[in-house]
Amino acid sequence: MNATKGPEGFDTFYREMYGERWDRLKLALLAPKKHVAVKNPFSKFRMPEHPLTVQGLSLEHEVGENFPQPEKTEEGYTNYYLMDAASLLPVEALDLHPGERVVDLCAAPGGKSLMCALKLQNKGLLVSNDRSAARRARIHKIFDEYLPKSEQMNHKVTGHDASKWCLYEKSIYDKVLLDAPCSSERHVLEDSKELNQWAPGRTKAIAFTQFAMLASALDIVKVGGTVVYSTCALSKLENDGIIAKLFQKRSGKFELIRPEFAFGEPTEHGWQVLPDVTGWGPFYLAVVKRTK
């Protein structure tokens, strides 16, 4: 048996990356996921009187390990959106203001786009892009479940390849969210077929695509605008590794903004939320400001 592949290879690879922390991380990845419930302002649903709160998030929220599935209230809109608290951090990091022009390059199923829409309050422009048609349908569905049509006038859904977008548009957007497709090790661990097929080449190949997407994102944001790069990967090749490559290839054209949040930990270039310590994530983000 080749110990660089499959479950053993997976363990070896991540133990080399995270040292003795890997065993704790793996246990945490296999534990049930927690969610925050972000209240929908278009539903009259009220949060219970004493919600448990997650510090440092600007959207109304509640933690619940067994939080009930969201449901439609009598106004016709779904009461809250369940997500990992760490998934809200890229939206916080975008620091959105009504009137800005924003593109979410890899948007489906659409949780972060929906949070962006709540921040933009139907002013400016929000483009939710995803290459997969089936997944784009989920963006439409979520927006229609949560927002009145009259509150979606600034919203467009597109289906471009994020890594090639810069061939068609340049220096257009105030803010770009790149929540990139990634190794998503939690899913690999949960799926024995995926785990058996795992090989180190996988994260290297994904990192290659992620860098192409980030380079494209940096071209389409205006000078002075911000790109937030995020993944739910543990592989450092897909996280700080991508930003390190940006320093090699685009030096002098951007600066890093160092985000800080109430939970998680700094990395060399960004911020990471790991489930062994916080119960949230894994999630990584870096904030890149275009300067040229």
Ligand X SMILES: C[S@@+](CC[C@H](N)C(=O)[O-])C[C@H]1O[C@@H](n2cnc3c(N)ncnc32)[C@H](O)[C@@H]1O
Q: How distant, in Å, are the alpha carbons of 18, 97, 210 from that of 41? A: 41, 17, 34
Q: How far apart are CA 201 and CA 181, in angstroms?
A: 15
Q: Can you name the residues that pair with 129 across neighbouring β-strands? A: 158
Q: Which is nearer to ligand X, 5 or 94 (CB)?
A: 94
Residue of minimal CB distance from ligand X? 106
232 is an active site residue? yes
Longest alpha-carbon distance in the chain = 59
Q: How far apart are CA 246 and CA 244, in angstroms?
A: 5
Residue count of the chain, please give it. 292
> Beta strand pairing status for 271-273 and 35-39?
unpaired
Of 31, 32, 12, residue with least CA distance to 22: 12
Q: Which is nearer to ligand X, 28 or 86 (CB)?
A: 86
Question: Site residues (CB under 6 A) for ligand X?
Answer: 106-112, 129-132, 135, 161-163, 179, 181
Of 123, 136, 290, 130, residue with least CA distance to 220: 290
List helix spans (H) across 97-221. 111-120, 133-146, 185-190, 192-197, 201-220
Give min distance, CB of 46 to ligand X, in A. Answer: 26
Q: Which is nearer to ligand X, 5 or 288 (CB)?
A: 288
Give min distance, CB of 218 to ligand X, in A. Answer: 15
Q: Which is nearer to ligand X, 112 or 175 (CB)?
A: 112
Q: Which is nearer to ligand X, 15 or 131 (CB)?
A: 131
Q: How distant, in Å, are the alpha carbons of 23, 80, 180 from that of 224? A: 42, 34, 22
Cβ proximity of 247 and 214 under 8 Å: no
The set of catalytic residues is 232
